[in-house]
Amino acid sequence: MPLCYYRQHLQKKRERQVFAAPPEEMGLSSSSITKDPPATPSWFTPERLLILFCVINMINYVDRGVIASNGVNGSIRTCDDKGICTSGSGIQGEFDLTNFQDGLLSSAFMVGLLVASPIFASLTKSHHPFRLIGVGLSVWTLAAAGCGGAFSFWFIAICRMLVGVGEASFISLAAPFIDDSAPVSQTAWLAMFYMCIPTGIAVGYVYGGFVGSQFNWRYAFWGEALLMLPFAVFGFAFEPLQLKVADSEASKLHDNILVGADSMSVDELKKTSKSVNIHNMLNQFSQFAEDMKALLVDKVYAVNIFAGYIAYNFVIGAYSYWGPKAGYNIYHMENADMMFGGITIVCGILGTLSGGFILDRLSASIYKAFILLSGATCLGAIFCFLAFCLRSLYGFIVFFALGEFFVFATQAPVNYVSLHCVKPSLRPLSMAISTVSIHIFGDVPSSPLIGVLQDNINNWRASALILTSILFLAAGIWFIGVSLHSDDASNDRSESQVCTVTVDNGTPLLYGNGDESSYEA
């Protein structure tokens, strides 16, 4: 009896040692499975998080305005009928680019964004999202600096692709973080975040126009790289904040490994632990395929993103890139960068915030968001179309400002639908696929296509009117969404809980003592 008892004691001790091993040995992230509920970082408050993400988002979109500004983008070398030629300026003049090549530069970031967005979204289930943002912003900073040191068209094109990689990490994760930490009136918080898109582009027009004309276009890129550098460091240096869903997914994985473990021998447990990494990789790929299928078959998500938002972004992307140049040629604006920048800043801020606050006052729902999307886009299309029909510069400014106000009022509602028509675990992927889709089918092809159109018809007013008419299509598509039935999937409590597994120092979980594991929401 004593010998038998001693052998059983050794066997149990060895089994405890297997489960006492660090999570990394079991193929799990030590950040995902914790002994205690995850503590909130000392620096964190919802307001600080919102301000942090707003500033990062603004710098990201300042870059879009910079490369589109006349001071940085410049103009090609031209000659008149008498043979008198004027030298080109900026990127287009220095590298002697056609309008099509120039348009490609505005779209090159999409290559990196397309590849990286789904990857970053999937990695949130096994890595700290905040660390992923730090990685992405570091790539963004180096790529922006590389744009300033470009020596050829292809080099700057590659750097623009890497800018897209950096943007991918941030743009797909920021909205879920804000959605987690925002108070009840979270649509207004989303509006504040997305307000930084038009504001950043507008500031980029002004900043790029000033730096390009007073110094050199290269300094504009180096300046924005310096601005982003502290935020890239922040992603690594400070205690990370975890998405709620990441803890939930990790805990589910932990539970699946422990279920039925009490019937395994020590050798079988060791063999199982060695195959966990391969099993996890296959599971991640399978889960990604299932998540993508869930998004593609969701009618509300498809109408909102794959139809309405793509058509909308096709117009906005071309506006942001060709707007200053079109205004300069149609109305002979000497300060087109300043004019378009000023209009976009004022109307972008007022329009985006108004859209969010109005949706909150209407008691935000997906149905009401679609009504606001359709109505605001239709009004914006009418005013912008009339603006380009007018011959008067002052009439154009008034009508175009009203049009931009209504057009930007859609930013909060469209992203509200993207976040609330899917379950919480799909939010990062939802935002990632949204970003990829509106760029690859929206503003990426629109800039070079409008460039080709202008090269052929050589009439900026006609090009602008053709482009603006697409906004009516976007309004009609979003109106279809009003008739679609959809519940708010973000209210699924089983998906939004944070589960953490706590193991007592005594008998491990494999012995089935349920009292020794705790789950906290």
Do the beta carbons of residue 441 and residue 425 sit within 8 Å? no
Dihedral sign of CA atoms 358, 364, 368, 374 in order = positive
In a domain, 498, yes or no: no
Packing angle of the helix pair 99-107, 444-457 (nearest 10 deg): 170
The 10s digit of each residue's pLDDT in 11-22 is: 544 444 444 444
Residue 437 confidence (pLDDT): 86
Q: Are residues 483 and 371 in the same domain?
A: yes
Looking only at Cα atoms, what is the longest distance across the chain? 112
What are φ and ψ of residue 392, in 5° steps?
A: -80, 135
Four-CA torsion 94, 97, 103, 107, nearest 10 degrees: -70
Q: Are residues 354 and 487 in the same domain?
A: yes
In a domain, 487, yes or no: yes
Dihedral sign of CA atoms 196, 194, 218, 74 in order = negative
In a domain, 348, yes or no: yes
Burial class (CB in 10 A: 0-12, 13-18, 19+), 430: buried
265: left (phi over 0), alpha (psi -120 to 50) or beta: beta
Q: Which of 399, 364, 373, 372 is nearest to 384 (CA)?
A: 399
Q: Are residues 221 and 291 in the same domain?
A: no
Residue 241 confidence (pLDDT): 59
Q: Are residues 340 and 489 in the same domain?
A: yes
The 10s digit of each residue's pLDDT in 180-229 is: 776 655 677 778 888 888 788 888 888 888 888 888 888 999 999 999 99
Do the beta carbons of residue 47 and residue 264 sit within 8 Å? no
The 10s digit of each residue's pLDDT in 153-185 is: 889 889 999 998 888 888 777 777 777 776 655
Q: Are residues 359 and 488 in the same domain?
A: yes
Low-confidence ranges of the chain (pLDDT < 50): 1-3, 5-7, 9-10, 12-37, 246-263, 269, 493-521
Do the beta carbons of residue 217 and residue 90 sit within 8 Å? yes
Residue 509 confidence (pLDDT): 35
In a domain, 230, yes or no: yes
Q: Are residues 305 and 382 in the same domain?
A: yes
Instruction: Using the 3D structure, point to which of 202, 222, 242 is the last residue of a domain.
Output: 242
Q: Are residues 113 and 207 in the same domain?
A: yes
Q: Are residues 148 and 234 in the same domain?
A: yes
Q: Are residues 337 and 480 in the same domain?
A: yes
Q: Which of 242, 207, 202, 239 is nearest to 221 (CA)?
A: 207
Q: Which of 311, 341, 336, 316 is nearest to 326 (CA)?
A: 336
In a domain, 99, yes or no: yes
Residue 247 confidence (pLDDT): 45
Tell me the CATH number at 471.
1.20.1250.20
In a domain, 385, yes or no: yes
DSSP labels, 262-305: GG--HHHHHHHHHTHHHHHHHHHHHHHHHHHHHHHT-HHHIIII
The C-alpha angle 272, 276, 277, rounded to 5 degrees, equals 145
Q: In terms of residue numbers, what domain contains 209?
A: 43-74+88-242
Q: Are residues 361 and 214 in the same domain?
A: no
In a domain, 364, yes or no: yes
Q: How many domains does the chain have?
A: 2
The pLDDT mean for the chain works out to 76
Q: Are residues 450 and 354 in the same domain?
A: yes
Q: Are residues 301 and 183 in the same domain?
A: no
Residue 447 confidence (pLDDT): 81
In a domain, 83, yes or no: no
Do the beta carbons of residue 519 and residue 499 sit within 8 Å? yes
Residue 182 confidence (pLDDT): 65
